[in-house]
Amino acid sequence: MIIGLAGNPNSGKTTLFNDLTGSSQYTGNWPGVTVEKKDGKLKGHPDVTIQDLPGIYSLSPYTLEEVVSRQYLVNEQPDAIINIVDGTNIERNLYLTTQLLELGLPTLIAINMVDVLEKTGVTIDTKKLEKELGCKVVTISALKGKGTKEAAQEAIRLAKAHEVGKRPEIFSGHLLKAIQEIEGKLDGDMKRWFAIKLFERDNKVIQDNNLNPDLKNIVEPIITKIEDEEEDDAESIITSARYEYITKLTSQCVVASKKQAKSLS
Ligand code: BGO
């Protein structure tokens, strides 16, 4: 079984990877690129490999790290993903989360740095996050080794059960209809993710995944119609919709104590 570990740079991914794998680690490079590839066996589980992915902010095609990560996730399809989220920087980190969930793989969100959150009086309503994001959410402190074993156990359970949650609906209105229209021209479990990439005119996705090259022209009128309506470019329309969704979500799920709220005002 393979569990992929995905998250932003500085989210604590290396700390978690070390905690989960101990000294059983193998380091090399991803094929064809000088991006470090690390994997290791989960402590006490010789049958479970933790595949570390490069630290990334997005699944766009702009950096080698993003391309390596998304190609791995799309082509290799790990049995489950642990998405480590820096709880002290949750809005920014959830931007990647929204994209990972679109892949439709069993995913566990591990909100890290809970020790810092506790000190600063910030509470994250994991139950509400679970309900909204449609996947399992746990809190951990990778540094203190708190909740990490349980997180790995939960990821194993999700992988064994092939448990894919209910995908959150981030897009709405005409934009959602346009994405669904593109999705209708595609096949396979990851068609939602591909549809969004095609809407963003991420043509590398066509090249890298042997999609029909005509798709580029077929979907173009769908994209331009929305761009004209929104008076913005397709990629920005998607980014704005994601942030709008995340801002609303965190306003409901992240609670600062009175003391903290006062110091922030
Ligand atoms: C330094 N709690 C706390 N408090 N810190 C954590 C936790 C946690 O649960 N998890 C990770 N960190 P990486 P990426 C550092 O290195 O694993 C800290 O990029 C420092 N270094 O210790 O490297 C972790 O792999 C000097 O902090 O992240 C590290 O994802 C002063 O978060 C940082 C303070 O973790 C990034 C911190 C010389």
CATH code of 231's domain: 1.10.287.1770
For residue 214, what are the domain limits? Answer: 173-248
129 & 192 share domain:
no
Which secondary structure element, helix H or strand E, spans residue 138, and what is its range?
strand 136-139
Q: What is the pLDDT of residue 261?
A: 55
Mean pLDDT by 10 residues, the chain (265 residues): 98 97 91 93 97 97 95 96 98 98 97 97 96 97 98 98 93 98 95 97 92 94 98 98 98 82 56
Q: Which atom of ligand 1 is nearest to the CA of 114?
A: 9
- CA 234, CA 13: separation in Å to the nearest integer? 31
- Indicate the number of domains in the chain: 2
The number of residues making up the chain comes to: 265
CA-CA-CA-CA torsion sign (49, 11, 37, 163)? positive
264 belongs to a structural domain: no
Q: What is the pLDDT of residue 164?
A: 94
Q: What is the pLDDT of residue 24?
A: 83
From 137, 161, 185, the end of a domain falls on 161
234 & 185 share domain:
yes
Q: How far is the CA of 15 from the centre of ligand 1 (A)?
A: 7
Residues 6+ away with beta carbon under 8 Å from 21:
40, 41, 42, 43, 50
Find, among 155, 121, 138, 128, the residue nearest to 48 by Cα. 155
From 161, 187, 221, the end of a domain falls on 161
Q: What is the residue whose two structure tokens read 């708190």?
A: 146
Q: How far is the CA of 166 from the centre of ligand 1 (A)?
A: 32
- CA 256, CA 254: separation in Å to the nearest integer? 7
Looking up residue 128, the CATH number of its domain turns out to be 3.40.50.300
Please report the ipTM that was assigned to this predicted complex. 0.97
27, 120, 143, 144: residue to mutate for ligand 1 pocket, most atoms within 8 A of CB: 143
- Residue 7, classed as helix, strand or coil, is strand
- List pocket residues of ligand 1, CB cut-off 6 Å: 7, 9-15, 55, 112-113, 115-116, 141-143
Atom 6, ligand 1: which residue's CA is nearest? 143
11, 13, 14, 15: residue to mutate for ligand 1 pocket, most atoms within 8 A of CB: 15
Starting at the edge strand that comes first in sequence, how are the strands of the sheet with 107-112 ordered? Answer: 25-29, 36-42, 45-52, 2-7, 80-86, 107-112, 136-139
95 & 31 share domain:
yes
- Residue 227, classed as helix, strand or coil, is helix
- Token readout for 248 is 């609303």
168 belongs to a structural domain: no
Q: What is the residue whose two structure tokens read 């994250």?
A: 124
- Residue 33, classed as helix, strand or coil, is coil
